[in-house]
Amino acid sequence: MPSELDLMRAGQLYNSTAAELVKMRATAKQKVYRYNQTAPEANALRAQILQELIDCPSRDAYIEVPFRMDYGSNVHIGANFYANYDSIFLDIAPITIGDNVMLGPRVSLYTAGHPLVASVRNEFLEYGHPITIGNNVWIGGNAVICPGVTIGDNTVIGAGAIVTKDMPVNSLIVGNPAHVLRSLTAADEQYWQAEKQRYLAARNQ
């Protein structure tokens, strides 16, 4: 017979009050609490706690305090990750994040789902679907990424967007529900490279 943890990891209905899951969440909450109580200058301690909590092989993820996370063990992060204040990771299912990803303040990644009918939902049965975020993605403040969503490489999610379905690569995404406003093209690359050169020239004056 599969355990509630097995069912959760398989994306099936599971009982969130199972003792094993309650214990796992309690352990994660203790680590999140310790992280959020660190002094501003305690960068090394925060890095140590975060490495105990999540999977980040490059060991260079940075998450501003405060933040929230259910399990931590279901969060997989690539190199050069940054999350601004008040980020939320509901990692019932895996959250997989590529390299060079930035989250604005109060970005929420929700893998958790609940039955639409109250008769089942009220029995503490729920499920989770994974979230996957590609490389070089920027997600603006207060955006919400819903269960089961994949975001393609080099995509920008505008502030306040509610992303309910998969989003393509090289796109600017906005709105509620979120949609593709336009593609990011060579013209964008040329414009921002020119802006960088203008910045460098000003620095060298």
In this predicted structure, what is the pLDDT of residue 205?
79
User: Which one is catalytic: 76, 114, 129, 179?
Assistant: 114
Length of the chain: 205
In this predicted structure, what is the pLDDT of residue 4?
97
Mean per-residue pLDDT over the chain, rounded: 97
| 129 among known catalytic residues | no
Question: Who's near 90: CB < 8 A, 6+ residues apart?
Answer: 70, 108, 109, 110, 111, 112
Question: Who's near 148: CB < 8 A, 6+ residues apart?
Answer: 111, 129, 130, 131
Orientation of helix 19-36 relative to helix 43-53, angle to 10°: 170
pTM of the model: 0.96
At 116, the pLDDT band (50, 70, 90 cuts) reads: very high
